[in-house]
Structure 1
Amino acid sequence: MPVVSQKRQVTLPLEQCEVAGIKPGDEYESFVSRQGSITIVTKRKGAAKGLLKGIPVNDKVSEDESLESAMQR
């Protein structure tokens, strides 16, 4: 079973990386839900291109508030 190192580093099992398409050197973001679950999302260049086109922007909501709201769903 993988463990967290003293530097708080985690090694992902090879099988999970293969399924998720994660390769050495890939960039990622991680998010923590209110329940304490950690989600790892690999960044893919151009993956979101045009995704939000035409959606109105609400400048009254901060990026952190928006992320928090999304994590509650």
Structure 2
Amino acid sequence: MMIYVFKTSVKTKKDSLRLKPLLNEALSIAKWNFDLEDCDKILRIDSPTCIIKAIVKLLNNNGFECEELKD
């Protein structure tokens, strides 16, 4: 499993709940969560497969900015 960390423009719990079914479908075998307290509104994903492009595209297509944070 790899942990991927993304900076997002998801600001509220309501936004994250709107994305929940989409993320659950796209990440059926992964664990994920938002840290909306962090200044970068972090999305962490623990996934066995590389999902970077798919997640950036999913969030962008739903009106949010998203970029992977490197180590």
* TM norm structure 2: 0.27
Flag the structure with more relative contact order, 1 or 2, with Cα contacts below 8 A and sequence separation at least 6. Answer: 2
More strand by share: 2
More helix by share: 2
* TM norm structure 1: 0.27
